[in-house]
Chains A and B, each alone.
Chain A
Amino acid sequence: MLCDVCLEIFRGSFPLGYTEHHGSAQSLQRSVLEKCELCRIFWDEIPSMSASGSEDIQVSTKYRLSTYRDTSAKLLEFRATSPPYMRDWNIFCEPTDGTRLSLWSSSTC
């Protein structure tokens, strides 16, 4: 599932430029606890951005969505900032083209 914050990426206006995501570590952690598929990708790496660990870390995240190199794929870039550190993650959104992964239909199962 996705948290409400991440859901916003895929509905309403197509996001242009960097857009605020989670404004605090607490907000991000809540989404992780809700098992948000996107937030948990970078949550594990957040503590490494602070010497004091995740308890009192000041972190904010933002994202940018764009078409990937003139393909039908989208590139979703997340950026976490915890001064003086910054880290980026690339998430790809690959069109399913209406097909599911075909191993199962062609296999013996």
Chain B
Amino acid sequence: MLTLGTGDSKSSDNEKPYDYSDWNASMMCAKTWLAGCIENHSECPASRSNRHTVNETSHSVVEPAPYRPTRLLELGSPEAGKVRLRLSSELDSIASHYATLSHCWGKSKTLRLTSKSFQRFRDGMAVTDLAKTFQNAISTAQSLGMKLLWIDSFCIFQDSKEDWAQEAGLMSQVYRNSFLNIAASIAVDSDAGFFRERASTVEPYVVQTKWTNHSNGTYHIYNEAYWFENFERMPLNSRAWVFQETVLAPRILHFCGNQMFWECHGLKACETWPTGLPGRMEIQHSLKSTRYPAGIEIFGSKYTNGIELLRISTDENATLNMTSFRSLWRKITAEYSQCNLTFGSDKLIALSGIAKHMEQLLDIEYCAGLWGHDIVQGLAWYAPKKTERDDIFQTEADPIHYRAPSWSWACTDRHIWWYGYFQAEGQCLVDVIRWEVQSATGDRTGAVTCATMQLSGYLTTMELHPTFGIEKNFDIHCDGKWNSMSSHDFYFDRRPPSFQLHCMPLFIDCLGYLCALLLVPTRDPRGQFRRVGIFRTLFREKKPVDWNQLDSFKNESWLEYESVDDEGKYTITII
């Protein structure tokens, strides 16, 4: 007779490790993750090696955190049923660490901190007066022995632009120094709450085989896409503002509906797989994985609260070198570009916490979503078509309000990816003369009001003609010859106002591909351009266009530029 390990009930043998429907047991699981991280993860910030200790019996933290946000909610006992808003300066220096909350605001208009509600929060707010997501967060923090909780809705004045601007600038520190970030992953808004009935399927599924012609065994069975299905698809993970919170927070307890997930640099786990996810499960999207070693260096244990700078090594064998840095930043921006913003104008602001942290830690210059030390690679982003059948020009409207220069990925709402420029093997074809970024608030990582970049390089005219008059495929006129677009990879950020384009090559990558910007002149002043896309072609191919002869291309009379030097390199400015 066949014995299925978890056939009718979940476990074929022995007793259940715990009742998964039991909240206390779930919290014990979370405490074990937390304690394990503090005790054992050298790659995680605030681990024991960073001088923090955990009381073995209660798992409550007994040493102070180095940083506290301006305001915090002080959690009384669950029986008291009240929380109080406290100023950091009022808190005992030996008070415990604080937790943070990542949540979707949604459209619900719930009680928040304003000049009117301030005194109520100071006197003590009944937990039952708060929206359900916040009630659940408070319960969680209390269950884990946390006494302080930071929630943006209650710790930033929601009716003060000045306070918001001030506190938003501190966001990177708030989450970076959080002892634990509670992620209301399943909750679509403040009212939804995130406590759900624990699923009966939380235990890993086990099957014992009874083959007649093959060796038998007992197997855990799991879907390769388990992580995506049960974790990544959560509503919270699509919110752009939350993206930096989860990247910066050292450890996150995700409430994903039927079970909790744990994420830190040392462990990815869930209640089904509490000691770590199976090796063959696809979790490639996690920025906290070893696939992004620069991430561990920058967001993990090497962080030293700004006392000591990290350097991007020139040694290709170093964990943090140019290659790993690029890989990390490309991943961050690509993932971020898939997230949703209520206000497109927040595109750079909602990522400024990460940018600020990296800028300070690595002593590098941020430039409207690009990095000054790697600006040529920074220009090589593109917005891929979702499917091959998609039109070559996007149908989405350009943002109404200016938010970023056309050369920055932050100017588009589309999902972006990058062409790789591998400096060691590649060849740079453009010189960046200067760039200038004007910020809205003086914060270089925040909103941008105006930005320019002056480049010097080869410049060619390129005219597009729809094949048979249909804008599906184009013939290209370049270097005095006609050829088909199909011999190149074209990606347009937006529909160009004219099919008379300018083309400025950026680099030849290690595989021999030439990557170039597609530009249209603004004509005010002459030599100023907007980026409209990018294209890539194999450099070595001499036909139909010999890109090796860039310096002697036949250009049309409508070629525009600021100046040209003796080597045939043109100076232009892109806005």
Contacts and interface: CB of A to CB of B under 8 A. Distances in A.
A100 B17 contact: yes
A101 B274 CA distance: 7
A3 to B, nearest CB: 11
A92 B204 contact: no
Contacts of A18: none
Contacts of B525: none
A85 interface: no
A86 B332 CA distance: 32
Interface in A66-109: 68, 72-74, 76, 89-96, 98, 100-105, 107-109
Contacts of B31: 108
A43 to B, nearest CB: 12
Contact of A91 (B7, B201, B211, B223): B223
A10 B207 contact: yes
Interface in B1-28: 2, 4, 6-8, 14, 17-18, 25, 28
Interface in B269-327: 273-275, 278, 280-281
B211 A12 contact: yes
B275 A101 contact: yes
Contact of B211 (A11, A37, A72): A11
Contact of B209 (A11, A89, A94, A108): A11
A52 interface: no
Interface in A8-23: 10-14
A89 B4 contact: no
A21 B435 CA distance: 61
A89 B225 contact: yes
Contacts of B57: 108
A1 B278 contact: no
A13 B212 contact: yes
Given A2-B7, A74-B219, A107-B28, A90 B274 contact: no
Interface string B546-559: 00000000000000
Contacts, number: 107
Contact of A94 (B201, B225, B280): B280
Interface residues of B, number: 42
A92 B275 contact: no
Contacts of A100: 14, 17
A19 B86 CA distance: 65
B32 A107 contact: yes
B211 A2 contact: no
A10 B209 contact: yes
Given A104-B17, A107-B28, A108-B28, A11 B221 contact: no
Interface in B180-221: 201, 204-214, 217-221
Contacts of A93: 207, 219-221
Given A74-B219, A93-B221, A101-B274, A37 B201 contact: yes
A72 B220 CA distance: 12
A74 B278 CA distance: 13
B265 to A, nearest CB: 18
A69 to B, nearest CB: 10
Contact of A14 (B17, B211, B273): B211
A69 B225 CA distance: 19
A5 interface: no
Nearest to B275: A103
Interface string B221-240: 11111000100000000000
Contacts of B207: 2, 10, 93
A88 B210 CA distance: 26
Interface in B41-69: 57
A78 to B, nearest CB: 10
Interface of B: 2, 4, 6-8, 14, 17-18, 25, 28-29, 31-32, 57, 201, 204-214, 217-225, 229, 273-275, 278, 280-281
Given A1-B7, A14-B214, A108-B57, 10 more contacts: A12-B210, A13-B212, A37-B205, A68-B280, A90-B224, A93-B221, A94-B220, A101-B273, A103-B29, A109-B25
Task: Please list the 5 inter-chain residue pairs (A to B) with the smallest Cβ-Cβ separation, ordered nearest first.
Answer: A14-B214, A104-B17, A93-B219, A103-B274, A90-B224
